[in-house]
Structures are given as structure tokens and as C-alpha cells.
């Protein structure tokens, strides 16, 4: 018997009639369970991978692979010598950027906010800030210009736009009376950035390096920290101690995993239940397929007996029910993967679902479309669909014409 004949008989066995509505209902439930299971699993993986990728990208671009600071927060002197020394000593280092950084206040006509002020060399920047600029131009007129780049979220809070003047306030480390004194200067907003991470967009602002030295009363050619990028981020935990030993006290190193350990741990914890979720979804889908096919066998026992009497052997009966289970799994899988892809595509390109950045670190639900996920989920779903048909199929094989005639 050809495959087309098996398909014809399988479709006729479960074809709609007034007395077979329940069979069709159970088959529809099985189809929907497979569809929802595949869709839920794909979306879970897409969201977790989206969080993982987005947080890694944003965190690394703003904190670098390794950050070198000092124990006592004193300025690190003679940055040109330090930068060249690190690059010459460690071939794994791709770039080193000196940075001046200090906490302060930023004030507009409507609001005052606490911020972290970072002085940078645009031409040496390895932070990836340029890729996040959404309005204005990355860079400054000169190293002493009173210009500032701030996050879009912070600008919205301050009701400020490009070209507006804002006031920056910091505290002098030393004064005549031994007490810190405020230092106030006005700056013009030249660009806005949006990294998608609230902890940066709300707090971190950028000014020219030379201006930062003067604002913070730091010596020439000094830095608050060095940001180091490696050829492989996963070398950071092993290389940070070597760089510390090379630079010696008071230099102190931290990796991106130290800075954002809680975020990365949170992502890994969220991934751990995935096998359990997959197992539960698979069990539900398998049980639904088994149940629907068993009901079909019970309702169609007489028909199966007639087919056996007409000469259909065990292999053909087995093939009929395996085909039916496989077709259910195939349709449900295609529908589930299609719906998951449509949702992922829309969310990835249009960001229709928003998040509370204060809780989830990001203000838009991130998704990542990974072909490997679709292949794995589709393969597992179809294999389980075939396995689920074996129990009903072997029961159907045991139906003989005599038993079918006696069955009521």
C-alpha cells in the first residue's frame, strides 16, 4: 500500500461526521497543545537569549572587559606610560582607554539629578558610546569644550534637548578649610544616547577629557581608571590578576563579570528551568496525542476490523496511526513556530512590549531569533509526536475482525 493510500485511510478514519465530533475535538486539542508548547518554548528561549545578548552588549560597551582603578581612589598618574606598558606587556589586550570619572549633580531649569560624570577621549573611546547615539554627533569641539553627552531618559527627565544648557556640580577634593567645596559649571548638550539599559541612560554623562581634569581638579595626564578591551572577554578573569601584578599597588582590577555578576547570574538562573519546562510541555502534548488516538481507536474499532478483514496487515495499520500522529505533530509544530517567529519579529523590530527598566535593567523586552532553537524544537516535537503514536498504534494492531464484530 502506498503512502497516499495510508494518508487517505487515516484522514477518512478521523473525518468529520455528526457522530464523530468528539474525535475531531480531541484531535484539535492535541493540535493546539503541540502548537502552544512549541510557541511557548521558542519564545522563552528567544527572550532569554535576547536578555543575554542585550545585557552583554550594553554592559561590556560601557564597562569594558577589565577596569583598572586605585584602592584609595587617588588619581592614577602618567596615563600614556601606563597605557603603552599594558599594551606592550599583554598581547591579549586590544585597546586601553584612560577615563576620568566622578559623581556629581546635573541641573536643568526643572530638575536636579545625581549622575556619574565621565571624561573621555572620543578618538580613544572603546565604550561603544558612538553606536548608541540617537541624536546629535559623537565627539566634542575640543578637549576643553563645555559640552556634554547625556542619556535620552535623563534628558527627558530634565526636559532638555540638544542645544540646551545644563549645570554640572561637583565637589572639590580639597579646599582651604579642609572641607569639600562645590564647583559649578554650565555645559551645552551636544548629543543624546540610548543604550537601553536604565542604569546607564539615567546616570552616566560624558564630557571632554581635558575639561574633566579641570572640573575634578586632577593633575595633567592622570586618570581615574583604565578601561581595557581584550581579544576574548572570557580571558578577563584570568588576565586581571596578571595586569594587577604588572602595575602593582595601588592599582586594582575588576572584570565585567565582577561589575555585572548579579545580572549574568540572573540570566543563567532563568535558563536552568528550561529543560523542566520542555519536559512538562512535551508530556502534556504527548498525552493529548495518545488520548486523542486512543479515543479514535475506540470509536473506530469496527472500521479497523473491516480494514483487517479486507487484508490490511499489522504494518499498514501501524502506519495509518503513526501517520496520523505525525501529521498532528507536524501541523502543530509549524503553527507554533510560525506564531513564535511572527511575535519575535514584531517585538525585535518594533518593541511593542515595554518593561520597567528599574526592575529588568532594560526598558524594552529583548528577543533574539536563533535558527538553532527552531531546528531543535521542531525536531524534538516531531520525534515525540511519532513516539506518542506508538502506544495507540500497537493497540490498533491487536484489533481483529472477530473482536471488532463483538465490540459495542
Q: Is 216 helix (H, G, I), strand (E, B) or coil?
A: coil
Domain positions in the chain = 3-58+272-406, 98-223
Pairing between strand 182-193 and 147-151?
A: parallel
> Exposed, middle or buried, 18 (CB in 10 Å: 0-12/13-18/19+)?
exposed
307: Cβ–Cβ under 8 A, 6 or more apart, which residues? 9, 317
Which pLDDT tens digit goes with each residue over 257-290? 887 777 777 777 777 777 777 777 777 777 877 7
pLDDT of residue 396: 65
Q: What is the pTM of this model?
A: 0.67
What is the tens place of the pLDDT at every residue in 355-406? 776 666 677 888 888 898 899 888 888 888 888 777 777 776 665 555 555 5
pLDDT in tens, 65-117: 888 888 877 888 888 888 888 888 888 888 888 989 889 999 888 788 889 99
Q: How far apart are CA 82 and CA 222, in angstroms?
A: 10
Burial 294-315 (b: 16+ CB within 10 A, else e): ebbbebbbebbbebbeeebeee
Give the integer Cα–Cα distance in Å for 25 and 12. 16
Amino acid at each position: 500500500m502506498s503512502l497516499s493510500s495510508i494518508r487517505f485511510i487515516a484522514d477518512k478514519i478521523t473525518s468529520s461526521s455528526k457522530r464523530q465530533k468528539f474525535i475531531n475535538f480531541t484531535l484539535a486539542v492535541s493540535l493546539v497543545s503541540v502548537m502552544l508548547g512549541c510557541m511557548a518554548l521558542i519564545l522563552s528561549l528567544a527572550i532569554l537569549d535576547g536578555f543575554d545578548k542585550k545585557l552583554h552588549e550594553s554592559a561590556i560597551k560601557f564597562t569594558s572587559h577589565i577596569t583598572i582603578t586605585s584602592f584609595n581612589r587617588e588619581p592614577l598618574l602618567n596615563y600614556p606610560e601606563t597605557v603603552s606598558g599594558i599594551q606592550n606587556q599583554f598581547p591579549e589586550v586590544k585597546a586601553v582607554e584612560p577615563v576620568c570619572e566622578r559623581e556629581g549633580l546635573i541641573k536643568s531649569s526643572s530638575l536636579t539629578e545625581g549622575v556619574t560624570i565621565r571624561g573621555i577621549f572620543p578618538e580613544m573611546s572603546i565604550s561603544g558610546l558612538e553606536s548608541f547615539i540617537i541624536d546629535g554627533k559623537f565627539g566634542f569641539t575640543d578637549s576643553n569644550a563645555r559640552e556634554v553627552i547625556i542619556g535620552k531618559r535623563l534628558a527627558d527627565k530634565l526636559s532638555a534637548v540638544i542645544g540646551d544648557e545644563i549645570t554640572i556640580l561637583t565637589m572639590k577634593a580639597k579646599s582651604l578649610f579642609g572641607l569639600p567645596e562645590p564647583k559649578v559649571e554650565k555645559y551645552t548638550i551636544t548629543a543624546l544616547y540610548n543604550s537601553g539599559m536604565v542604569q546607564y541612560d539615567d546616570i552616566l554623562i560624558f564630557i571632554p577629557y581635558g575639561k574633566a581634569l579641570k572640573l575634578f581638579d586632577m593633575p595633567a595626564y592622570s586618570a581615574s581608571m583604565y578601561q581595557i578591551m581584550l581579544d576574548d572577554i572570557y580571558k578577563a578573569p584570568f588576565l586581571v590578576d596578571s595586569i594587577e601584578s604588572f602595575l602593582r599597588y595601588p592599582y586594582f582590577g575588576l572584570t565585567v563579570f565582577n561589575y555585572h555578576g548579579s545580572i549574568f547570574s540572573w540570566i543563567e538562573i532563568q535558563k536552568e528551568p528550561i529543560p523542566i519546562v520542555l519536559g512538562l510541555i512535551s508530556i502534556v502534548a504527548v498525552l493529548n496525542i495518545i488520548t486523542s488516538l486512543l479515543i479514535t481507536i475506540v470509536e473506530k474499532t469496527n472500521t479497523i476490523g473491516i480494514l483487517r478483514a479486507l487484508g490490511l496487515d499489522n504494518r499498514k495499520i501501524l502506519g495509518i496511526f503513526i501517520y496520523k500522529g505525525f501529521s498532528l505533530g507536524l501541523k502543530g509544530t509549524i503553527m507554533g513556530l510560525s506564531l513564535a517567529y511572527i511575535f519575535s519579529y514584531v517585538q525585535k523590530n518594533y518593541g511593542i512590549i515595554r518593561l520597567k527598566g528599574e526592575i529588568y535593567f532594560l526598558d524594552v523586552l529583548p528577543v533574539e531569533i536563533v535558527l538553532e532553537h527552531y531546528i531543535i524544537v521542531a525536531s524534538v516535537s516531531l520525534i515525540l509526536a511519532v513516539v506518542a503514536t506508538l502506544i495507540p498504534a500497537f493497540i490498533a494492531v491487536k484489533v481483529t475482525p472477530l473482536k471488532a464484530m463483538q465490540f459495542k
